[in-house]
Each structure stands twice: as structure tokens, then as C-alpha cells.
Amino acid sequence: MKILVTVKRVPDPDQKIKLTADGRQLDLSGLPCVVNPFDAIAVEEALRIRERSSEAGEIVVLSIGAAECEEQLRTALAMGADRGIRVDTPAAADPWNVAAIVQAVVAREQPGLVLMGKQAVDDDSNQVGQFLAARLNWPQATFASKIEFVDGHAEVNRETDSGIERVRIALPAVITTDLRLNEPRYVSLPGIVRARKKPLEVLSLEALGVALQPRVKLLGVTIPTSSRAGTRLRDVDDLVQRLKELKVI
């Protein structure tokens, strides 16, 4: 089974985010970037699906953005994916348009499964997977913490707020990955060196026949204020007293 996995370039979540001088955008200059951690889980899952399965299947990784996104594609290729596609876009597209681009790539590649992170850790939109399934009219299973294949169907454990939900969906399908699905393998320099030999194709929006129709406009960003300082209390009685003062109990 051919699997298409999306890979988004995001700032390393450990880094401290700054704003540009005008305060309207994130200042990404000099920030180390990584594969969106949920997407890394999706790549890892694709590799494991192939390792578990008896049939050989191609794993294609897709990133949308400017040339620097190829760094993240190379990481995914070093993890073990076979081929990379970058769709060249100058600026970040909103989720609906990202879904449109992925839809065009799906039409071109005809995968049996699209695996993607449930959301990207930079904008936390959590929409592309759902939009894509709707646009393709494919079944979807979001927030996957376990994926199994039974009788040509996918059985997926979904992590919901109220517990684990197990669903069975027909293929082809869109599955978005949650944190507990797996632990992605580490990629070191030798892997990246070897991945340089793997094919990486750059497609323009025109070639895909996609015209962006922006639906969302970014008005501004603010850095959250730092959390309040903690206080050291003497003992449990003190704690109870304070909680009463705060009307928590």
C-alpha cells in the first residue's frame, strides 16, 4: 500500500518565540526548525506499517512551502521514506487551501492511505486532515493512538476527551496521528547523508492546477503573559487556608 505522509516545517517547540518588530508576526529568523512532532509520528507510523506488512509499499512525504522545507523532507527521507514532494508556495496557506493542495497531490499519487499529524504545533489549527477527508470524500479517523489493518479496513483507536474510541474505516482513508501512537526514530547525520540520494520533486501550484483562495487573514499575534509566580506555603493548613481565600474550596 502506498502511503502519503504530510510533513510540516515548524519552529522547534523548545525554542522561545519572539515577535517581529511590528509585533504582527512571529520572528522565525535564526530559530531552529523541526518536523512537526505529530507529523514525525505519522512518518514513523507509515514506516512501521510497512515493516509489519508483507507487501512492499512506497512511502511518499509531502511538504508545502518554500525551499527550506526540504530540510524537513530530508529528515523524513532519512527516517526511511522513499520519495519527497515539495509544493512550492511563497507564503503559508490557511488550512482549507493546504487541504486543497494535498488533495491535488493525492489525485496525482493515488495513495491507499494519507497519514498526517493531527495538528501542527505552530498554529494548532487541527483542520487539514478533516478538510482533506471532506474534499476527497474519504473516511477519516483523527487522533489515532493505534492503527491496525483488518480485512482491507483500518481499525483505529481514537484518543477522545472521554476515552478511547475504536473505529473501523474503509480504505483509502485519511488518518491523523496523536501523541501516543509511537515514538519517532532518531535521525542522525549518516541517515541524512544517505537520504540525499533519494528523489525529491518540487511542484508548483500551477503544475498541480491549484489556485489558492485564502479564507483566513492573520490579524496579529501576542505572546502569552508569563504564568504567575508560585508561592511556598508552610504546611497543609496554610494551603487549605489559601485555597479558601481564593474560593477554590
Partner 1 sequence: MDFIRETLGNTKLTRETFGNIPKPSQVLFYALAVLACSILAYGLFCRARLWWLGQPGWRWRSLGRAATGFFREVLGQRRVVRRLFAGWSHFFLFWGFAILFIGTLLLMADHWPAEIWPAWHFQYGLYYAVYKMTLDTAGIALIAGCLLLAYRRWTRPSSLGHNWRDWAILAALGTMGLSGYVVEALRLLWSRPLLPGVSYVGYALAQLIGHGHSDAALRTAHLCVWWGHALLGLTIVAVFPYARLFHAIAGMLNITGEPAQLGAMRPVSLEEVEQTGKVGVGNISDFTRGALLQLDGCMECGRCQEACPAYASGKPLTPRGVVQDVKRLLGTIGPALARQPRSADGAAAAEPSPAGPQLHEDTVTAETLWACTTCSACVEVCPVRIDPAGMIIDMRRYLVAEGQLSGPPATSLRRMENSNNPWGLPSEQRMEWADGLDVPTVKQRPDFEILYWVGCAAAYDRRVRRVARAFVRLMQAAGVRFAVLGTEERCTGDSARRMGEEFIFQSLATANVETLNRYKVRKIVTHCPHCFNALTKDFPQFGGHYEVVHHSQLLAELLRQGRLPLDGDGASRPGQPRAKRITLHDPCYLARVNEITAPPREVLSQAVSDGATLVEMARRGRTTFCCGAGGGRMWFEEAPSQRIGNLRAQEALATGADTVAVACPFCMVMMTDSVAQANSEARVLDIAELLAERLPDSPAEKQNPQT
Residues at the contact surface with partner 1, assessed by CB under 8 A: 12, 14-16, 32, 34, 44, 78-80, 182-191, 193-194
Pick between residue 162 and residue 226 the one whose CB is nearest to partner 1: 226
Pick between residue 17 and residue 134 the one whose CB is nearest to partner 1: 17
Pick between residue 12 and residue 165 the one whose CB is nearest to partner 1: 12
Radius of gyration of the chain (CA): 21
**Cα distances (Å, whole numbers) of residue 204 to 66, 85, 210:** 11, 10, 9
Q: In this structure, what C-alpha cell is assigned to residue 116?
A: 498526517
∠ CA 180-184-190, rounded to 5°: 175
Measured between alpha carbons, how far is 209 from 106 in angstroms, rounded to an integer?
13
Nearest to 11 by CA among 61, 62, 68, 60: 68
Pick between residue 119 and residue 182 the one whose CB is nearest to partner 1: 182
Measured between alpha carbons, how far is 65 from 76 in angstroms, rounded to an integer?
16
Contacts of 159 (CB under 8 A, 6+ apart): 143, 144, 145, 178, 180
Pick between residue 48 and residue 153 the one whose CB is nearest to partner 1: 48
Pick between residue 232 and residue 247 the one whose CB is nearest to partner 1: 232
Phi, psi of 48 (to 5 degrees): -70, -35
Residue 209: DSSP 8-state: T
Yes or no: say if 73 and 114 are a contact pair by the CB < 8 Å rule: no
Contacts of 105 (CB under 8 A, 6+ apart): 4, 62, 85, 87, 203, 208
Nearest to 109 by CA among 158, 60, 68, 154: 60
Pick between residue 64 and residue 195 the one whose CB is nearest to partner 1: 195
